């Protein structure tokens, strides 16, 4: 594991030697960026095809609303197209796009709270609100989801929605997106210590939510000997 984000961006291993796969991916990103700057139509299509689904996954987990998430994703790609000339290459293309996605999600959440407080309260209480598991295909197992059954995953997704946005984003990027601490720090525009602190606090907040749920008397069913 490299000690600095720049090493991973440039494709260097911990031993200081270039990693061929990372260098190839970096070269592909650089070429795509140049094509975008040249306003090549196929480059725009390639960018959307490559990043639309993962960006939607990320935004949906942050907002938990399919309609709002679709609007935010459109805004993310508009920002990418408008700002590509200013992309400095000090992080990977994926990291840059994720940074924009998190920023736009936060902006959307702030607008939502200012203008739609009553609807927010109703949606929180609505038993039929859609979870991302009903909207998106399974992206595959991760440390966050591995060995968990469907019911447990749904409980964790629900618990995540009760976590403060800054902690939720860190947990999602680490445990669901499986990004490195360096990538998360670049996306959230903060330092490694803050990233690790937010992840720990986010995980603890999820754990407390799950413990509180298990302690509630309204539980219909729970497996014997379940872990908190």
Residue-range domains of the chain with CATH: 1-135 (1.10.1740.10), 138-216 (1.10.10.10)
- Angle of helix 93-115 versus helix 41-63 axis, rounded to 10: 50
Q: Look at residue 181 and tell me whether its pLDDT is greater than 60.
A: yes
Q: Which token pair is 4?
A: 């600095």
| pLDDT, tens digit, 9 for 90 and up, residues 187-228 | 999 999 999 999 999 999 999 988 887 776 544 444 444 443
Q: How far apart are CA 84 and CA 3, in angstroms?
A: 28
- 224 secondary structure, DSSP code: T
Q: How far apart are CA 87 and CA 215, in angstroms?
A: 49
53, 113, 207, 228 from 130: Cα distances, Å = 18, 19, 22, 25
Q: Look at residue 53 and tell me whether its pLDDT is greater than 90.
A: yes
3-state class (DSSP) for residue 3: coil
User: At 87, phi and psi to the nearest 5?
Assistant: -70, 120
Q: Which token pair is 114?
A: 């200012």
Give the pLDDT confidence score for residue 42 in this predicted structure: 92
């Amino acid at each position: 594991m490299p000690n600095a984000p720049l090493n991973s961006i440039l494709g260097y291993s911990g031993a200081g030697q270039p990693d061929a796969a990372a260098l190839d991916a970096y070269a592909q990103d650089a070429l795509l960026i140049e094509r975008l700057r040249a306003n090549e139509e196929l480059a725009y299509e390639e960018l959307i095809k490559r990043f639309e689904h993962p960006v939607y996954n990320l935004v949906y987990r942050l907002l938990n609303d399919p309609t709002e998430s679709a609007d935010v994703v459109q805004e993310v790609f508009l920002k990418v197209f408008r700002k590509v000339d200013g992309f400095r290459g000090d992080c990977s293309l994926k990291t840059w796009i994720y940074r924009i996605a998190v920023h736009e999600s936060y902006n959307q959440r702030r607008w939502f709270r200012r203008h739609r407080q009553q609807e927010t309260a109703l949606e929180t209480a609505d038993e039929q609100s859609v979870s991302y598991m009903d909207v998106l295909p399974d992206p595959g197992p991760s440390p966050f989801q591995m060995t968990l059954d469907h019911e447990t995953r749904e409980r964790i997704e629900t618990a995540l929605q009760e976590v403060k946005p800054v902690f939720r984003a860190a947990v999602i990027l680490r445990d669901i997106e499986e990004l490195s601490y360096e990538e998360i720090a670049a996306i959230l525009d903060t330092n490694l210590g803050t990233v690790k602190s937010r992840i720990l606090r986010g995980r603890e907040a999820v754990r407390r939510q799950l413990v509180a749920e298990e302690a509630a008397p309204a539980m219909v069913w729970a497996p014997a000997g379940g872990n908190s």
